Structure 1
Amino acid sequence: MAADGFQHGAFQHTLRTPALFAGVGVHTGAYTRVAVRPGAVNEGIVFVRTDVTDQDNRIPATAEAVCKTQLGTVVGNAGGVTVATIEHLMAALVMLGVDNAVVELDGPEMPIVDGSSEPFVRLLDRAGKRPQGAARRFIQILDTVEVVEGDKRAALKPAHRFEMAFEIRFPTAVIGRQAIDMAMDEGAFRRELADCRTFGFLHEVEALRAMGLARGGSLENCVVIEGDRVLNPEGLRRSDEFVRHKALDAIGDLYVLGAPVIGRFEGELAGHALNNQLVRALLARPHAWRVRTFADEMAEAV
């Protein structure tokens, strides 16, 4: 098990101080205030709807809690209380090594901010981290698990570190075929993926708004494509920003496993739905993975 990047460190970590921010949800358009607070040892990532006071308002970010994957990842509890669009914050949390945190918000959807993970990275950097008195756990992939749906595919394979490979294809010259394949640690996430924004096509945005969705979507938080051109005045942050954002999404979607992954993720035309199918397929095959700590690694090295 490699001890590089976000995987480095034997102990669990939480935030040193709360991270506070606010913004609109990309689909609801609702203005939401958020406080990411320190969490207890082994608590994981828990969302708390502070605007819900008449029933259970806690939603642990687990694979089983994912209840919807259209246009984003939504988690919910047994009482039907939900939080939407968690993936960009989840990606920042796992790649910056935050094991435990309580995310309080007073609305049904996480703010989209600029459509990437970079604002969350800055917030977490300002809040800082502190170690906790328990071993950090990892999900080590022992055998290949794959899900296929038509021409879409997602897989987790054994590897000595966390690796991310993704490929997308769109019939527009702006995107075409794009692929990445890289070892992924905290430094690589900051440099290569964190600033890559969500994207959509103008005709899709118009159709979503007719359905009551994408109410908060704008050129401030989404790369919008019309035909073979990008409508955002500032253009792209990277020529392959699209596939990099899909990889960012996948990292966030994997963190509902409750621990960082030691293994290789491969995605081909995959999205939130297939990512969650893969997570559930992995959990359904307990012999394909194991929970590891650095204490395990040191014991085996002796």
Structure 2
Amino acid sequence: MTARRSTSMQTTLAAAVALEGVGAHGGLRSRLLLSPADAGSGIVFTRLAAADAPLLAQARNVSSTDLRVRLGAGEASVSTIEHLLAALRGLEIDNVAIDVDGPEIPAMDGSAAAFVAAIDEAGVVALEAPRRYLEIRAPVRVADGAAWAELSPAPAGGFHMDVEISYAAAPIGRQRRRMRVTPASFRAEIARARTFGFLSDAERLWREGRALGASLDNTIVIADGRALNPQGLRFADEFVRHKMLDVLGDLTLAGAPIIGAFRSYRGGHRLNLALVETLLATPSAFALVGGAREPRARRAARAAIAR
């Protein structure tokens, strides 16, 4: 049975909006400007430096998936893009120009909440072009030891996630969550879930020049079997919800919204991107659907004339 396909139009922001904050890994303050973009532009990052060329948010431009996702080509690079991408995909924003004056997207509070608030402030508008989707037609799967991730067809349409994590340490343990992703479910269930890390790993990461901007303000810090953050957890299973947030951001790099079902066990950025690359290298596993569709206003005008 062929999945039901959405016929919605492409979107962009109604106005530009700025954010500012510290990068979780580099510890540097940077400013971010999100601006409207034309239909078909996609999500494009531009570092505000003379030698840096624009970077399209697609898997072919990923240069690292070590703890965070980095885009890079030639002199240009920008890292820790996953939470912003998740907010854009979760709220169904197809086209946006992103200018950033530093090497890393600000961590904000470690979730996508600040990006959602910025998008709401800017507003969203429909464009005179139909959205195209990447519809999964056959399963694809990647594995790394006990960890694995897969995409398969979703007969009911839409995009579904089923994510399971397993850590020996409390308070994480084994957590699993399933959901159909819509703008409403994204806002309610995963947008506010924060990144997490273990205090025992901090000194090693600092020696490696990473996590220099991580703090209790933007990371759930775990030690002695508990979260050290004074305000505690936002959800009892905030850890798996954040992994779902990462999945949504990483899969945005497929270049189009996905119609299908994602499932993973003990996944992460590297496995998610390997799945995207495997999918794109397997043309029989997907089809691009959507395409030319008469804009709603034009259809209404024709119908009025016909009456």
TM-score range, shorter chain: over 0.9
Give aligned-pair identity as a percent: 44
User: Which consecutive unaligned segments of at least 5 residues does structure 1 have?
Assistant: 297-302
Write the letter of the residue equivalent to 1:270.
G
Q: Which residue of 1 aligns with 2:263?
A: 266
Indicate whether 1:31 and 2:26 are aligned.
no
Q: Deviations over 1:142-176 (max 9, x none)?
A: 00000011011010110022100100011122011
Indicate whether 1:242 and 2:239 are aligned.
yes
Structure 1 residues 83-94: aligned runs within 5 Å: 83-94=78-89
Q: Which residue of 1 aligns with 2:303?
A: none
Q: Pick the aligned partner of 2:19 from 18, 21, 25.
A: 21
Assess if the C-alpha contact under 8 Å between 1:84 and 1:108 holds in 2: yes
Indicate whether 1:60 and 2:56 are aligned.
yes
Q: Distance in 1 between matches of 2:245 and 2:4?
A: 21
Assess if the C-alpha contact under 8 Å between 2:149 and 2:265 holds in 1: yes
Assess if the C-alpha contact under 8 Å between 1:154 and 1:275 holds in 2: yes
Indicate whether 1:154 and 2:138 are aligned.
no
Write the letter of the residue equivalent to 1:181.
R
Write the letter of the residue equivalent to 1:91.
A
Q: Distance in 2 between matches of 1:56 and 1:103?
A: 13
* SS of alignment partner, residue 172 of structure 1: coil
Q: Distance in 1 between matches of 2:168 and 2:52?
A: 45
Q: Distance in 1 between matches of 2:203 and 2:4?
A: 46
Indicate whether 1:252 and 2:244 are aligned.
no
Q: Distance in 1 between matches of 2:292 and 2:62?
A: 31
Assess if the C-alpha contact under 8 Å between 2:7 and 2:290 holds in 1: no
Q: Distance in 2 between matches of 1:275 and 1:178?
A: 18
Assess if the C-alpha contact under 8 Å between 1:45 and 1:99 holds in 2: yes
Task: Give the deviation of 1:236 after TM superposition.
Answer: 0.4
Assess if the C-alpha contact under 8 Å between 1:10 and 1:294 holds in 2: no
Determine which structure has more spread, i.e. the larger CA radius of gyration: 2
Write the letter of the residue equivalent to 1:84.
S
Q: Deviations over 1:103-152 (max 9, x none)?
A: 00001000000000111001001100111111101110000000011011
Q: Which residue of 1 aligns with 2:66?
A: 70
Write the letter of the residue equivalent to 2:18.
L
Q: Which residue of 1 aligns with 2:39?
A: 41
Question: How many residues align structurally?
Answer: 289
Q: Which residue of 2 aligns with 1:10?
A: 8
Assess if the C-alpha contact under 8 Å between 1:155 and 1:266 holds in 2: yes
Aligned-CA RMSD value: 1.3
Q: Distance in 1 between matches of 2:170 and 2:274?
A: 30
* SS of alignment partner, residue 64 of structure 1: helix
Q: Distance in 1 between matches of 2:180 and 2:32?
A: 31
Q: Pick the aligned partner of 2:181 from 178, 184, 193.
A: 184
TM-score where L is the length of structure 1: 0.93
* SS of alignment partner, residue 60 of structure 2: coil
TM-score where L is the length of structure 2: 0.92
Q: Distance in 2 between matches of 1:184 and 1:144?
A: 19
Task: Give the deviation of 1:227 after TM superposition.
Answer: 2.6
Greater Cα offset, 139-148 or 200-209: 200-209
Q: Distance in 2 between matches of 1:268 and 1:137?
A: 29
Q: Deviations over 1:38-57 (max 9, x none)?
A: 1111010000001x20x342
Q: Distance in 2 between matches of 1:245 and 1:23?
A: 20
* SS of alignment partner, residue 278 of structure 1: helix
Q: Which residue of 2 aligns with 1:98?
A: 93
* SS of alignment partner, residue 205 of structure 2: helix
User: Which consecutive unaligned segments of at least 5 residues does structure 2 have?
Assistant: 294-307
1:9 to 1:117, Cα distance in 2 relative to 1, 3 A: farther
Structure 1 residues 128-277: aligned runs within 5 Å: 128-159=123-154, 160-277=157-274
Assess if the C-alpha contact under 8 Å between 2:46 and 2:52 holds in 1: no
Write the letter of the residue equivalent to 1:57.
A
Write the letter of the residue equivalent to 1:73.
V
* SS of alignment partner, residue 197 of structure 1: coil
Q: Deviations over 1:4-30 (max 9, x none)?
A: xxxx65211100001101001000011
Q: Distance in 2 between matches of 1:25 and 1:285?
A: 35
Q: Which residue of 2 aligns with 1:299?
A: none
Greater Cα offset, 138-147 or 287-296: 287-296
